[in-house]
Amino acid sequence: MTSVGVLRETADDERRVAFTPDTARTLAGRDARVLVEAGAGQAAFFADDAYTAASVVSRERVYDDSEVLLCLRLPPDAAARCRPGQVLVGQLDPLDDPGPVHQLAAAGVTAVSLDLLPRTLSRAQPMDALTSQANVAGYKAAVLAAETYPGFFPMLTTAAGTTRPAQVLVVGAGVAGLQAIATARRLGARVTGYDVRAAAQADIASTGATVLDLGQAQSTDDGYARTLLHDEADRQRDALTGVVPRFDVVITTARVPGGRSPLLVTEAALYAMRPGSVVVDLGGNVEGVPAATRRLVGDVTVITAPELAATVPAAASTAYARNVLALLGLLMPDGVPDPGRDDEILRAVVVSEGGQVIHPRVLAALADRAGAPS
């Protein structure tokens, strides 16, 4: 019987858990043994005694007694605590920060990173943790913006008069951006969406939002945004600097997979916005604002929240756990981990095996790091 261990997340701002009582019950029904670290689900409102189909044990026991380990973020103690042959499944961020997974490989750990999942494959959709967590983050971004904005999102007509609806711009129309657009519209705001990709502009229009067209539509063949050339990025930024001050609320969600987030909202644009305006930055697209902060720039509230899904821990954990459960069905088809099996999804998400990093894109990221000037 394979033992699957659930690690408690240790980051200060992390409240999610990789597996919920429901998914633990389902996996146990497949003749697997589930070990959950004590307190793993507490911050997401899943008490230890809710894991009735699992054994709640210490962190040491989870590491020592599990063949497969589950997490959201890469545990800082994983390389030191894991033993050769163990499988670690999580969102390990190996393209942006390949060093830790290189250490896992050196320790003989088979690292499986959900954020490398090929999202264009229909059979991979139940495992798509990036999409599930982006949905949560986009929803929360709109709610957070509405809570912070000192006016109303909807138009309200009362005996005291009529208030105009808030003007909201969502920059980036991936999963998070589209969910932010939809949520802001449900809250009654007048919403405009912008994305550099032509296909995404059609997605924005399908929500009923206005499409902001700056005349720069382009993307890679797989539909993802590509890193713009220097002059293209300058023109895009200048165009947005002229547009952003028209809006009461701006939500930015634009990211380039495996690349640096584009700078889209300049300080000049922030200072030109109306007093009381709000900017929520999910994508790292706002100039001069450090990560995970709330600050005033002039009279504009800027909230940088790259891990906003963690602030909706019950919903986000439930969605993520279902993604992990679906992946385990592929990883353990006969109840035993088989990460080396020839499958296009496994080839895309297995980063290290047999003591080596085997993923081509992660190897390229490591080579880039090695060649970068210190």
- In this structure, the answer to whether residues 28 and 47 fall within a common structural domain is yes
Identify the domain boundary among 311, 337, 369.
311
Write 297-302 long-range contacts (CB < 8 A, 24+): 297/267, 297/270, 297/271, 298/270, 298/271, 298/273, 299/274, 299/275, 300/270, 300/271, 300/273, 300/275, 300/276, 301/148, 301/276, 301/277, 302/270, 302/278
**In Å, how far from its chain's centre is CA 295?**
23
- In this structure, the answer to whether residues 44 and 160 fall within a common structural domain is no
The rounded distance, in Å, linking the Cα atoms of 311 and 317 is 11
Q: Give the bridge partners for 169, in sequence order.
A: 192, 250
Comparing CA positions, the residue from 361, 210, 179 lying closest to residue 282 is: 179
The rounded distance, in Å, linking the Cα atoms of 259 and 257 is 5
The rounded distance, in Å, linking the Cα atoms of 311 and 290 is 19
Residues 6+ apart with CB under 8 A from 272: 241, 244, 245
Angle between helices 129-148 and 313-331 (to 10 degrees): 170
- In this structure, the answer to whether residues 97 and 9 fall within a common structural domain is yes
Comparing CA positions, the residue from 327, 332, 345, 358 lying closest to residue 110 is: 358
- In this structure, the answer to whether residues 175 and 97 fall within a common structural domain is no
According to DSSP, the β-strands at 300-304 and 352-353 are unpaired
Amino acid type, 188: G
* Any domain includes 370: no
H-helix segments, the chain: 21-28, 59-65, 78-81, 99-106, 129-148, 175-186, 198-206, 230-243, 267-272, 313-331, 344-349, 360-371
How distant, in Å, are the alpha carbons of 7, 240, 332 from that of 237? Answer: 42, 5, 47
* Any domain includes 369: no
- In this structure, the answer to whether residues 163 and 266 fall within a common structural domain is yes
**By the 8 A CB rule, do 165 and 155 touch?**
yes
- In this structure, the answer to whether residues 30 and 143 fall within a common structural domain is no
- In this structure, the answer to whether residues 286 and 324 fall within a common structural domain is no
- In this structure, the answer to whether residues 149 and 288 fall within a common structural domain is yes
* Any domain includes 368: no
* Any domain includes 372: no
The total number of structural domains that make up the chain: 2
- In this structure, the answer to whether residues 217 and 267 fall within a common structural domain is yes
Amino acid type, 242: G
Angle at 294 between CA 289 and CA 296, to 5 degrees: 75
- In this structure, the answer to whether residues 111 and 149 fall within a common structural domain is no
Please report, in tens digits, the pLDDT of each residue of the chain (374 residues total): 899 999 999 999 999 999 999 999 999 999 999 999 999 999 999 999 999 999 999 999 999 999 999 999 999 999 999 999 999 999 999 998 999 999 999 999 999 999 999 888 889 999 999 999 999 999 999 999 999 999 999 999 888 888 899 999 999 999 999 999 999 999 999 999 999 888 899 999 999 999 998 875 555 444 445 455 567 788 889 999 999 999 999 999 998 776 788 999 999 999 999 999 999 999 999 998 777 789 999 999 999 998 999 999 999 999 999 999 999 999 999 999 999 899 999 999 999 999 999 999 999 999 987 776 54
The boundaries of the domain holding residue 165 are: 138-311
Kindly state the tokens that stand for 80.
């030191």
CATH number for the domain that contains residue 97: 3.40.50.720
- In this structure, the answer to whether residues 246 and 108 fall within a common structural domain is no
- In this structure, the answer to whether residues 269 and 347 fall within a common structural domain is no
**By the 8 A CB rule, do 252 and 172 touch?**
yes
Identify the domain boundary among 311, 329, 347.
311
